A and B are shown apart, each in its own frame.
Chain A
Amino acid sequence: MLEMKNISKVYRTEHVETHALSELTVTVEAGSFVAVMGPSGCGKTTFLNTAGLLDTFDTGTYHLDGQDVSKLKDREMSRIRNEKIGFIFQTFNLIPDLNVFDNVDVPLRYRGMPAGARRQAIQESLDIVGLSSRLKHLPSQLSGGQQQRVAIARALAGTPRLILADEPTGNLDSAMANDIMDLLEKINETGTTVIMVTHDPELANRAHRQIHLLDGRQIDLEMDEPVPLAGDRAATVGE
């Protein structure tokens, strides 16, 4: 599904250079559920941004779904994001002025789907997340967990091949976090590849596979000692 080779990404500001990703090589099989872990600032978000074509990288090659996406035009990247990828954000990122229905509708309109097909897709994906009775609600009228479920419905509505979630449960309590995790598992069972960044080892354990990042590189935990930082944080983030 996803094949990154020697990807490097450097953030340059006036005074410092930050190597957010250095020579990162990652492969994710289609249909798998991968948890990305690592201490704060290790490059998890940068990795996800790169994987989701939200940001460019400096060196290396990236194949997504068999296609070389290293040197695409902005318009083509927009199309791939729209058709192949579903994003779930830590802060939900719903559009506050639009109701639930219109929020889920956003990516479908960019795809130029006819109204009838859009309505059906919206209904179906809201059914999956259990919010089909809240079409007319504004995000501000929903709880955090409900908002994230709307966001998931929005990511699902376009039937993406890949779901990218950056700490989707980071702003939720553990009960809600579990609901969201259940949902992501359910989605994964239908064949959609899921890559999720999390600080919670319990949630990470439910994934098929874990990728540990440290200073922009993947580290192999079976060879190294467990990274204590991740565990420490999990203790505060978890229960």
Chain B
Amino acid sequence: MEFGPIVRSLFHNKTRFWLVTLEIALTLALVINCAVYILDMGSKMNRDTGMDIENILVVHTEPVSPDFKDETFLSQVRDEDLRLLAAQPGVLSATAFHQIPLSGSGSSAGRRAEGSDLNTIVIPYYLVTMNALRTLGAELESGRDLMASDYPPAGQDDIRDDDGVQRFNVLVTRSFADKLFPDGDALGKAVVNNDGTSVQTIVGIIKHMNNSWPTSDFGSDVMLFPLKPGTAERMRYLVRTRPGGLDALAATLEESMLTTNPDRIITLTSLAEVRDDTFSEDVALVKIFGGVIVLLFVVTSLGIFGLASFSVTERTRQIGTRRALGATRAAILRYFLIETWVITGIGLTLGTGMAFGLNMALASIADSPRLELPLLLTGIVVFWLVGMLAALLPAMRAMMVPPVLATRTV
């Protein structure tokens, strides 16, 4: 209603307003981009891992005896451990892994599709004993699981053909299969390393599971390798229990395993804990970004509050005059709210451009997610409300200025 004069009056006082306008713009740009990051992280962390992580116990053993340097002894202990683990009450399945999914550390190799000109891509892989899918709770989508015959015969640690080329049957995830075989016909096809000395035939496709880096953009690419893992330094097992059986197992497991072989240190965690550990830095960052958002909102609301307060104090006499000329209290309140509304609006308009600019800049230096319109609109609405709230107190003070102030000569 009084829009025109309010804006014209604002523009006579430009210098005073541009600072807060700029502050609002910057805050919007930063807040929105922090929120983009938080939402993206949140959705990545909440993604389905494809595994029954709540019911999987990670058993980490660290041998302290030189006996383990002997391959035969090592493999004997591993077989004994696996038998023992599988025999524990409540246990569904146990498998030895050379690295732990979701843990943030793992191995990967370059592979390309045999007979195709598609580029080599990096594939995280795990050396596993039998029953890996059952232990993980991952689903086989097509083909078959690994069998005893896929593993090197006893006393042999590799499978090579007459030309010395390493040949293995493997399982891969659908996500990886589609990258090398975009037509969806990966089953039965082979992948090779760059110099062709290692060939793997895909005998089964896993519907979905995460590798060691679940938030990366190759987080669902996995290859399971039929090679028995374990070294003189460490041996790792995953043990899947029936739902809710994990704690009971963990309570007695260390003792039972030490009975088999006492010369080692045993550490037990759940796979869910492993994941939380891997995410802890991201969670901390999310918290920091959340804090930054709150802080920016507080600082900017203080800025808006300060400006509105100053604007009211400085114009006390003018308010009295307006009241004398017939302004109702409501009209005065409206005046100052509209003024803040306009300032915030200009700031938010600038800020929208800056938010997109910053988002594109971030995307060009690191692979960060895109800013979506609904998020921006939510930010703008929230910000506008915060701004109005910050201006409410000063505006109410203005409203209470009595008309008699117009004639006071001091």
How far is it, in angstroms, between the C-alpha of A68 and the C-alpha of B88 when the chains are bound?
A: 97
- 13 extra A-B contacts, CB within 8 A, seeds A54-B323, A81-B325: A49-B407, A75-B328, A81-B323, A87-B406, A89-B321, A95-B318, A97-B10, A97-B12, A102-B8, A106-B325, A107-B326, A110-B322, A158-B326
- Asked if B406 and A79 sit within 8 Å, CB to CB, the answer is no
Known: A54-B403, A93-B321, A98-B5. A138 touches B12 (CB 8 A): yes
10 cross-chain CB contacts under 8 A: A54-B324, A55-B402, A74-B328, A78-B323, A83-B326, A91-B409, A93-B318, A102-B8, A106-B5, A109-B2
Closest 9 CB pairs of A and B: A82-B326, A97-B9, A107-B325, A97-B12, A55-B404, A110-B326, A93-B321, A78-B328, A54-B404
Question: Which residues of chain B have C-beta atoms less than 8 A from A138's C-beta?
Answer: 12
- Asked if A89 and B407 sit within 8 Å, CB to CB, the answer is yes
Neighbour of A110 across the interface among B13, B318, B327, B406, CB < 8 A: B327
Q: How many residues of A contact B (CB 8 A)?
A: 35
How far is it, in angstroms, between the C-alpha of A113 and the C-alpha of B156 when the chains are bound?
A: 99
Chain A, Cβ-Cβ closest to B318 = A95
Nearest-neighbour CB distance to chain A for B5, whole angstroms, equals 5
- Asked if B318 and A79 sit within 8 Å, CB to CB, the answer is no
Chain A, Cβ-Cβ closest to B317 = A93
Question: Which residues of chain B have C-beta atoms less than 8 A from A48's C-beta?
Answer: 407
- Asked if B5 and A105 sit within 8 Å, CB to CB, the answer is yes
- Asked if B409 and A87 sit within 8 Å, CB to CB, the answer is no
Asked if B207 lies at the interface with its beta carbon under 8 angstroms from chain A, I say no
Asked if A5 lies at the interface with its beta carbon under 8 angstroms from chain B, I say no
Asked if B179 lies at the interface with its beta carbon under 8 angstroms from chain A, I say no
How far is it, in angstroms, between the C-alpha of A146 and the C-alpha of B324 when the chains are bound?
A: 21
Known: A54-B407, A87-B406, A93-B406. A98 touches B9 (CB 8 A): yes
Neighbour of A87 across the interface among B9, B13, B324, B331, CB < 8 A: B324
Which residues from chain B sit less than 8 Å from chain A, CB to CB?
A: 1-2, 4-5, 8-10, 12-13, 317-318, 321-331, 402-404, 406-407, 409
- Asked if A106 and B322 sit within 8 Å, CB to CB, the answer is yes
How far is it, in angstroms, between the C-alpha of A49 and the C-alpha of B331 when the chains are bound?
A: 21
Query: A19-56 CB contact bits vs B (8 Å, 1 = yes)?
Result: 00000000000000000000000000100110011110
Which residues from chain A sit less than 8 Å from chain B, CB to CB?
A: 45, 48-49, 52-55, 74-75, 78-79, 81-83, 87, 89-91, 93, 95-99, 102, 105-107, 109-111, 138, 154, 158, 166
Known: A49-B404, A93-B406, A95-B9. A111 touches B326 (CB 8 A): yes
How far is it, in angstroms, between the C-alpha of A138 and the C-alpha of B8 when the chains are bound?
A: 12
- Asked if A45 and B407 sit within 8 Å, CB to CB, the answer is yes
Question: Which residues of chain A have C-beta atoms less than 8 A from B323's C-beta?
Answer: 54, 78, 81
Most chain-A CB neighbours within 10 Å: which of B4, B323, B326?
B326
- Asked if A90 and B325 sit within 8 Å, CB to CB, the answer is no
Known: A93-B317, A98-B8, A102-B8. A78 touches B407 (CB 8 A): no
How far is it, in angstroms, between the C-alpha of A87 and the C-alpha of B402 when the chains are bound?
A: 15
How far is it, in angstroms, between the C-alpha of A73 and the C-alpha of B147 when the chains are bound?
A: 92
How far is it, in angstroms, between the C-alpha of A55 and the C-alpha of B403 when the chains are bound?
A: 7
Known: A95-B318, A98-B8. A109 touches B1 (CB 8 A): yes
Question: Which residues of chain A have C-beta atoms less than 8 A from B404's C-beta?
Answer: 49, 54-55
How far is it, in angstroms, between the C-alpha of A109 and the C-alpha of B329 when the chains are bound?
A: 14
Question: Which residues of chain A have C-beta atoms less than 8 A from B1's C-beta?
Answer: 109
- Asked if B325 and A97 sit within 8 Å, CB to CB, the answer is no
Question: Which residues of chain A have C-beta atoms less than 8 A from B403's C-beta?
Answer: 53-55, 78, 81
Chain A, Cβ-Cβ closest to B331 = A110
Question: Which residues of chain A have C-beta atoms less than 8 A from B407's C-beta?
Answer: 45, 48-49, 54, 89, 166
How far is it, in angstroms, between the C-alpha of A129 and the C-alpha of B101 when the chains are bound?
A: 87
